[in-house]
Amino acid sequence: KKIIIVGGVAGGATAAARLRRLSEENEIIMIEKGPYISFANCGLPYYIGEVITDRDRLLVQTVEGMSKKFNLDIRNLSEAIKIDREKQTLTIRKVDTGEMYEETYDTLILSPGAKPIVPPFKGLQEAENLFTLRTVPDTDKIKAWVDEKAPEHAVIIGGGFIGLEMAENLVHRGVQVTIVEIGNQVMAPLDYEMASIVNKELKNHGVNLIFNDGVQAFGDKGNKILLQSGRSIDSDLTILSIGVQPENDLAKKADLDIGARGGILVNEYLQTKDENIYAIGDAIEVKDYIQQTPAMIPLAWPANRQGRLVADHIHGQPVSYSGTLGTSVAKVFDLTVATTGNNEKLLKALHKDYEAIHIHPASNASYYPGGSPISLKLLFDPNTGRLLGAQGVGIKGVEKRIDVIATAIKGDLKVTDLADLELAYAPPYSSAKDPVNMAGYVAS
C-alpha cells in the first residue's frame, strides 16, 4: 500500500510513526510545506520568552532523523496543492523551486492543521510590527523583533491561550503588554467568574486589559492601532491571536464535505466522504464529547490521538473516535488554568439541565507549607448525576484535579462517584479528602 500524509507535525507525524510500527511493508510519504516537521508548537511562546533557551529543543524530530528511524519518505518544503480523487493522485509543489509533480496514493491522510485568523484590517499590509504565531519561522521573526528592536510596549489582540502565553513571555522579556479582547473575558473555555481570577493575575503582573473592544485599523506602519471604540493605542509589537481557522483548501477543492465552521467532515473512523481519504487534527470538525454536537477544538491531544487511530483503522483494527472533551491547561504567570468538558455558558445556551458548584479547597493539607486554594467549578446533570465539565484555577495541583475529572467523565462516573475515588494523599500533595472528593460531597 502507498500512504501519503499531508502535514508533518502533531497529527501527521504521529500517524506516520504508528503506521510504520504496524507494518514494515507500506510505502509512507509525509508531505510538509514548512521547513520543519514534528516541532513543538506548544513550546514556541516559551522560546520567545527565553524560558526555553535552546532552539533545537523545539525540533522534536528532524527530517533526517525521523526518515531514518521510521523508514519514511519525508518531503519538507513541499506543499500538497490538489487531490484528484478519481485518479488517486496528489499534486505536490516544491516550495523552493515551484516545480510541480504528481504522486499516486492508495490512502491519503490529511493533517494540515489550522491557520491564524487574519481579517483584512485597514493598514494590515503596512504593519511591519504585526505577527501571528504558528510555526518555527513565525517564532524566529517575533524573537528577532524582540531581540533587535527591544519593544517597550506590545499589544496582543485576543485573550485566548496563545495570547495569554505570549503576554506572559513578553512580560518575561521586560515588555509592557496590553491585551485587547473583543469579548468580556479572557480564555473562552472558562466561565466569566473563573476568568475574572485570571484577570487579577494578569493585572498583578502589569498587563493592561481592554475588554469589549476590537481592532478597527492599523496606522503608522502598525505603530498605532485604532480600536472599534475609537480609542487609539500605540504598539511597538503586535501579536494577532484571535483564533484559528481550519486549513481546508485541499479538501474543499477535492469536493470533500466541509462543516459550517470550515472543518473537514469525517465519520467516527475519521474518514471523509471518500473512504480512501482520512482527515485528522485541527482541520476537522469533531463531536463535542458531552453533547455529541459539532465542535471545533484545536488541541494537541485530539490530533495525536486521531493520528494513532487512523493508522490503526487503516490496519483493520476496530477503532473509532468518540469525540473531543476539550481538556486543556495553561500557565498564566503563577496560575494554572485548566478545563474539561462543557462550561456553563454552553450549557445555558443549549438550555440543558445542569447544576454548578464552586468550591475553594486547599491544594494540600493546611498545616503543610506551600499550599494554596484551588477555585474549582463542577458542572453536572442533577437528574442523572452525569458529569458535564469542570474548571480549575489556582497555583498548585489544578491540572491534576481536572485530569481526574476528565478521566471520570470518560469512565462514565457520576458526580456522586467522585466522593468515592481513592486518591493519593500525603500533606505536601493533598488532603485526606481531596478537592475532587470534596466536589463529590458538595454535589451530593
Which residue in 239, 177, 240 sits closest to 209, CA to CA? 177
Q: Is the dihedral of CA 180, 163, 141, 91 positive or negative?
A: negative
Q: For residue 318, how many other CB atoms are within 10 A of its CB?
A: 7
Least CB distance from residue 326 to ligand FAD, whole Å? 10
User: CA-CA distance, 31 to 39, in Å (whole number)?
Assistant: 14
* Segment interacting with ligand FAD, rule: CB under 6 A, options 29-37, 308-316, 414-422, 433-441: 29-37
Q: Is 333 in the site for ligand FAD (CB under 6 A)?
A: no
Interatomic CA distance for residues 161 and 141, integer angstroms: 20
Burial class (CB in 10 A: 0-12, 13-18, 19+), 40: middle
Which residue's C-beta sits nearest to ligand FAD?
281
Q: How far is the CB of 300 from ligand FAD (least distance, A)?
A: 3
Q: Does 282 bind ligand FAD (CB under 6 A)?
A: yes
Which grid cell sits at 294? Answer: 459539532
**Rounded to the nearest whole angstrom, what is the least distance from the CB of residue 139 to ligand FAD in the complex?**
8
In the complex, least distance from residue 219 CB atom to ligand FAD, rounded to whole angstroms: 27
Residues in Cβ contact with 400 at an 8 Å cutoff, skipping those fewer than 6 apart: none
Nearest to 274 by CA among 106, 104, 156: 106
Nearer to ligand FAD, 42 or 226 (CB): 42
> Does 162 participate in binding ligand FAD (rule CB under 6 A)?
yes
**Binding test (CB under 6 A) with ligand FAD, winner from 7, 163, 389, 440:** 7
Q: Strand pairing partners for 379?
A: 356, 389
Which residue in the set 5, 20, 47, 113 belongs to the binding site for ligand FAD (CB under 6 A)?
113
Question: What three-state secondary structure class fits 440?
Answer: helix
Task: Decide if residue 123 touches ligand FAD (CB under 6 A).
Answer: no
Binding segment toward ligand FAD, per CB under 6 A, in 187-195, 215-223, 298-306, 428-436 = 298-306
Q: If 0-12 CB within 10 Å is exposed, 13-18 middle and 19+ buried, where does residue 104 land?
A: exposed
Q: How many residues bind ligand FAD (CB under 6 A)?
A: 33
Dihedrals phi, psi of 364, to nearest 5 degrees: -150, 175
Q: What is the rounded distance in angstroms from the CA atom of residue 45 to the CA atom of residue 378?
A: 30
Which of residues 10 and 177 has its CB atom nearest to ligand FAD in the complex?
10
**Site membership for ligand FAD, residue 52 (CB under 6 A):** no
Q: Can you tell me the distance from the alpha carbon of 50 to that of 434, in angstroms, rounded to the nearest whole number?
A: 35
Cβ nearer to ligand FAD, comparing 324 with 430: 324
- Pick the stretch among 28-36, 59-67, 200-208, 269-277 that binds ligand FAD (CB under 6 A): 28-36
Among 5, 17, 20, 32, binds ligand FAD (CB under 6 A): 32
For residue 334, what is its C-alpha cell? Answer: 503563577
Q: From the CB of 346, what's the least distance to ligand FAD, in Å?
A: 19
Which x/- pattern over 337-366 shows residues binding ligand FAD (rule: CB under 6 A)? ------------------------------
Q: Considering the rule CB under 6 A, would residue 250 count as an interface residue with ligand FAD?
A: yes
Q: Is 326 in the site for ligand FAD (CB under 6 A)?
A: no
The amino acid present at 246, given as its one-letter code, is P
In this structure, are residues 214 and 228 in contact, taking their beta carbons and an 8 Å threshold? yes
- Catalytic (active site) residue 262: no
3-state secondary structure of 340: strand
One residue of 3, 4, 5, 6 binding ligand FAD per CB under 6 A: 6
Catalytic option among 22, 42, 52, 442: 42
Q: Binding ligand FAD by CB under 6 A: which of 19, 28, 30, 41? A: 41
Instruction: Pull the grid cell for residue 70.
Output: 521510521
Q: Considering only CA atoms, which of 48, 44, 81, 84 is closest in space to residue 60?
A: 44
| Whole-angstrom distance, CA of residue 57 vs CA of residue 38 | 11
C-beta of 134 vs 400, nearer to ligand FAD:
134
| Residues making contact with ligand FAD (CB under 6 A) | 6-12, 31-34, 41-42, 44-45, 79-80, 111-113, 133-134, 162, 247, 250, 281-283, 298-301, 303
Q: Return the active site residues.
A: 42
